[in-house]
Amino acid sequence: MITQIELENFKIFKERTSFLLGQITLLTGINGCGKSTFLQSLLLMRQSIEHNDSASQIVLNGSCINLGSFTDIKNSSISRNESIKFIYHYEDKHILNPNQEDNLKLHGYAEYDFEENFEDDMVAQISNITFSDKVVINIKKTIQDDYEFEGIYKKIKDSNILNINRFDSHEVNRGKFLGLLPERKGSCHLLNLLPFYGGGYVFQTPQKHSLTLDVYSLHKSLHFYKIHYISADRLGPQESYSKATLNKFPNVGAKGEFTVNLLYKKRDFLINENLCLGQDAKTLYTQTEEWLNEIFNGAKVEIPSSDSNILELLFNTNNSKDRFKPANVGFGYHCILPIVVSGLIAQEGEILIVENPEAHLHPRAQSRLAQFLARVSSCGVQVFIESHSDHILNALRIAVLDKIVTPDDLSILYFQQNPEQPVVQIPVQPNGGIEEWPEGFFDQMDKDFSRLFGM
């Protein structure tokens, strides 16, 4: 899981700004204060991998977002030779031997430096990647000391070199850190924006067995291509939908444009049992209908089989046999469909980003959708919600009260017009209560009531 992101010299954030994250994170606050900018630090990485999974460039205009040129993304106060920095802090757990409960925990960060590419101003060049990791290995419930090592990736002329700097090998309790394969230097390339050179960290276990851990596979929180994204600008109801081959990473598309195709082709995909409702099949198709029914108090979905290249989506708001085109039912049904499908298909360790889930929804539906997203996060998917709805906020607080998520799982970030403290993290108590309410944080209703009733 990504536990923290730091941004520097990126758009509105000139000074290094930290964002503390949870398993589910709510982004809210004043318009134009950086919520979208924060999300773009993840979406740029995903669309760059989608464009070329072995490149060392960040694509500024792609499948998720279109930000223009390098001049548009760098803070206007910095010089052209200053780099933009994205820093991702992560905490991963790897099961080494399920039968013996052996596991490895990785804590660390990766810092990406981006500079202008003078040959193409529509990309940002990765000039440097710095890793700093701490590893704790638990073998048969015996906790070993921390192993610390750092790596720096640099593009030197036309060849890519991974320089590894670490502390000297040393005995630690019952295990030993033997070193790295290959030795301190080795040619490598970027795969999915991570240094990949076929080597690994080598440890000696208490049983004198050698344990090699691949550098690339260790940093699974940084597998940025596994990001599901549903933008605020979602596609409206269509007369029909074209069949298409699914992407390597199946997703609904930023505007929900692949939702019907994905639901049709993955209809029998089995859903995490913790997300399943009712007694019917635990498939994507069935559970999509179950959750729409739960959120709206009535829903039927049908995608008739078709031998042509065209698919048709039909809805109903009750249990009758009638089916209607999306344009002839409430707009909210079609608007919410990509969110539900994404939440159901997302796997543990992946990321789900949803902008304005409240669009076109009744307050009750907003609340139930937020509780659905809380359930998704409890299955190991890291969820980011950008919202201005107090119904979304209160539903997440109720999810804490109902122990769907813990207070530590939920991070509420309030973006405000304060250069010295642009982002505030607001704690939630185990009972769902909030003790700190900054000025402007969901307080407009109180201000309106005060005006209306002379309070």
CATH, domain 227-453, list 3.30.540.10, 3.40.718.10, 3.50.50.60, 3.40.50.300: 3.40.50.300
Average pLDDT over residues 377-381: 97
Alpha helices (H) along 297-439: 331-345, 363-378, 390-401
Average pLDDT over residues 20-34: 95
- Whether the per-residue pLDDT at 365 is higher than 80: the answer is yes
Among 356, 358, 378, 379, which residue's Cα sits nearest to residue 368? 358
Tokens 């394969």, located at residue: 181
Other beta carbons within 10 angstroms of residue 274's beta carbon come to: 11
Q: Could you tell me which residues are beta bridge partners of residue 143?
A: 138
- Whether the per-residue pLDDT at 386 is higher than 90: the answer is yes
- Whether the per-residue pLDDT at 1 is higher than 60: the answer is yes
What number of residues does the chain have?
455
- Whether the per-residue pLDDT at 360 is higher than 80: the answer is yes
Among 298, 257, 345, which residue's Cα sits nearest to residue 64? 257
- Summarize pLDDT for 388-421 with one digit per residue, the tens: 999 999 999 999 999 999 999 999 999 999 888 9
Angle of CA points 52, 132, 226, to nearest 5°: 35
Lookup: tokens for 283: 């498939």
Among 2, 24, 29, 3, which residue's Cα sits nearest to residue 422? 29
- Summarize pLDDT for 234-286 with one digit per residue, the tens: 988 888 998 989 989 999 999 999 999 999 999 999 999 999 998 888 999 99
Average pLDDT over residues 304-319: 88
Position 321 confidence tier, pLDDT thresholds 50, 70, 90:
confident
Among 268, 236, 230, 278, which residue's Cα sits nearest to residue 383? 230
Alpha helices (H) along 390-436: 390-401
Q: Could you tell me which residues are beta bridge partners of residue 92?
A: 106
- Summarize pLDDT for 180-205 with one digit per residue, the tens: 444 334 455 788 998 776 556 666 65
Lookup: tokens for 72: 């548009």
Q: What's the per-residue H, E or C state across 37-73?
A: HHHHHHHHHHHHHHHCCCCCEEECECCCCECCCHHHH
- For residue 144, the model assigns a pLDDT of 56
Among 63, 78, 80, which residue's Cα sits nearest to residue 121? 80
- In the chain, CATH 3.40.50.300 sits at 227-453
Averaged pLDDT score across all residues of the chain: 85
C-alpha span between 25 and 413 (Å, rounded): 7
pTM of the predicted model as reported, rounded to 2 decimal places = 0.90
Average pLDDT over residues 129-150: 65
